[in-house]
Structure 1
Amino acid sequence: MIFLEQHPPLFDTPSTELPKPPVPYTTGWRFTAESHGVSAPTLVTRGCCMNGESDKIERKQLSPVERCLKRPPLPGGKGNDSITLEVIKLLKGGDGHNSQVFTVRLLASGSRSLPPGGTELVAKIYDPLYFDDDEGHLNPFLCMDKYYTHEANAYKALGGFQGCGIPKYYGSYSLDLPVDSTRKRTVRMILIEHIRGITMADAKPEWFSHAARQHIMKSIVDLESRIFEKDIWLIDLEPRNIIIGSAQDSQPRIVFIDLGHALFNRRRDDPLALQLNYFLGQYISPLLRWNEAKTKIYAFSDWIDWDWDPWLEGEFAHTVASITPEMRERWSDE
């Protein structure tokens, strides 16, 4: 008789199949959140959000709720204001999502920096309990800390773009969710402006004229480059994270959303990245970073039916004078 060697399964139980309480973020739910001072952005290195062996063991031994109680979010600072909100509509969320995003109505606030009561806003909650951990490969607590600290700090750093390129930012918050009669677990949240429109991922290019699509792409390249000038690199700039104001406009407004993957100082924190010159604080021409060889446009290929590089060179010819030989060398092989 031949006995086959037993190997552990390549994948663990999907997080959506683990026992959890129902998702509380439903239409009509009212809750109170306290203002929270977000901590500095977490370091981003290779594998920084992956589960270690001890994490995988813990995942098998403890329930998802018990893990949340054991692993609260990074502390940050406690604020002095509280707000009461009511959920209007779920935009993205439920079990198996990286975040819970929904429109809310502002019911009460003690802060003068917030709009009047009754205003419709967007709340984004970073809840590890309902995070899709890729069948145990990702650590939901490290991921939530990363997304929250990076997104909240990115909004703060990009104050000049709020309301004209990214949503207005109304602060970071913390809320406690009851587990049972004696215990609560804490999650973090940000509050931003509600942008009307449709994401590029949900829109169809044929809804827009050739000129309108060129305007959209020029706006994307220009906005991303100006944000990069502020030393923030949006590595997750995809059609799903860009809202188009209206398909009827000849020059549609575009707004970037979802800054959770933003990198500060234009890089990760790996040793090799720390050795390179990123020309911090200097404008880097799109002719170096957005030409066809850099592959940035692949995500937008359905929107582009023209010869990209000659068009890019024409639209951003005025930036040639800003390019130094050192910059050309730095971005020649990326």
Structure 2
Amino acid sequence: MVAKLFDAKYLDPYDHPPSYASHQYIRESSAYRYLIRHGLDQHIPRFYGSWSTIIVDTQGRQRSVRLILTEYIEGTDMAHLRPSDFSPNQRKDLLRQVVEAESRFYTLDLRHRDLVPRNVIVTETRRVVIIDFGLAFIGRSASDIYDFDDPEDLLDGNYISPIVRWWRAQDANDEWALSGWITWSWNQWLVDTWSSDIPDITPAMLKWLPSEEREKPFFYHLFNGCDRTSPKWYVAYKDQMRV
């Protein structure tokens, strides 16, 4: 079992106000309960509950201290694993689990907002477990998208394919890009892995893509005359060009 404490005493006051610990506690405990209620507990540690108490210091000052209890996961976070110890196929399977879990969270309108290698634990059986929901938020935001002409229609409650939401620009420089886990053509892998999503990608979903990425051959071809309901469409497309 893991006890995670939220105590403002141990925060750097220059970086975070005292309320930051309380906000993280509320977000994390709410996220666990929300995911469990919606049947997505297979992607997270078991959640045993949350508690609050008041502590009085030696000078008589009171402060709130909060606690969350979760399952201890036997494993190592991806930031402390060596990608070179895993074959390309094993790494792809781990990333597939990460992307699938996050996509399921987002379908329920939950945004993790800190899904980086250090917050993904890999067990000995190579199961992926997502942790640290202190920045999580229930509800979609206009900050998720790149099209501010229509910021109100965020397709709440709808599944949006990883082909769109996890698509990467060539100059991507985030923690996943720098982690060493991804050594293949990421966008091509997204399209290959989630090709069954292609018939259901709509123009309204493209707002999750930077405008310059929407002009890439894959998305241009997607909305210009092809029959995406045909099972042979993607096979024929792959023969013509690569992502």
Task: Name the structure 2 match of 1:129.
Answer: 9
Task: Name the structure 1 match of 2:28.
Answer: 151
Matches within 5 A, 1:205-284: 205-246=83-124, 249=125, 252-267=126-141, 275-284=151-160
Q: Secondary structure of the equivalent of 1:279?
A: coil
Matches within 5 A, 1:169-208: 169-180=47-58, 184-208=62-86
* Residues 165, 208 of structure 2: 8 Å contact kept: yes
- Residue type at the aligned position of 1:149: I
Structure-2-length-normalised TM-score: 0.76
- What number of residue pairs does the alignment pair up? 203
- Whole-Å separation in 1 of the counterparts to 2:90 and 2:129: 15
* Residues 142, 151 of structure 2: 8 Å contact kept: no
Cα deviation, residue 275, structure 1:
4.3
* Residues 142, 154 of structure 2: 8 Å contact kept: no
* Residues 267, 273 of structure 1: 8 Å contact kept: no
- Whole-Å separation in 2 of the counterparts to 1:273 and 1:129: 43
Task: Name the structure 2 match of 1:42.
Answer: none
- Whole-Å separation in 1 of the counterparts to 2:96 and 2:186: 11
Greater CA radius of gyration, 1 or 2?
1
Residues 1:267 and 1:313: Cα distance change in structure 2 (over 3 Å): same
- Whole-Å separation in 2 of the counterparts to 1:171 and 1:273: 42
- Whole-Å separation in 2 of the counterparts to 1:153 and 1:138: 21
- Whole-Å separation in 1 of the counterparts to 2:15 and 2:95: 35
Q: Secondary structure of the equivalent of 2:169?
A: helix
Residues 1:209 and 1:262: Cα distance change in structure 2 (over 3 Å): same
Q: Give % identity.
A: 34
Could you tell which deviates more after superposition, 288-297 or 316-325?
Answer: 288-297
- Residue type at the aligned position of 1:214: K
Select 2:185's aligned residue among 304, 307, 316: 307
Gapped regions of structure 1 (runs ≥ 5) = 1-120
- Whole-Å separation in 1 of the counterparts to 2:202 and 2:142: 24
Cα deviation, residue 179, structure 1:
1.3
The structure in which a higher percent of residues are strand is 1
The structure in which a higher percent of residues are helix is 2
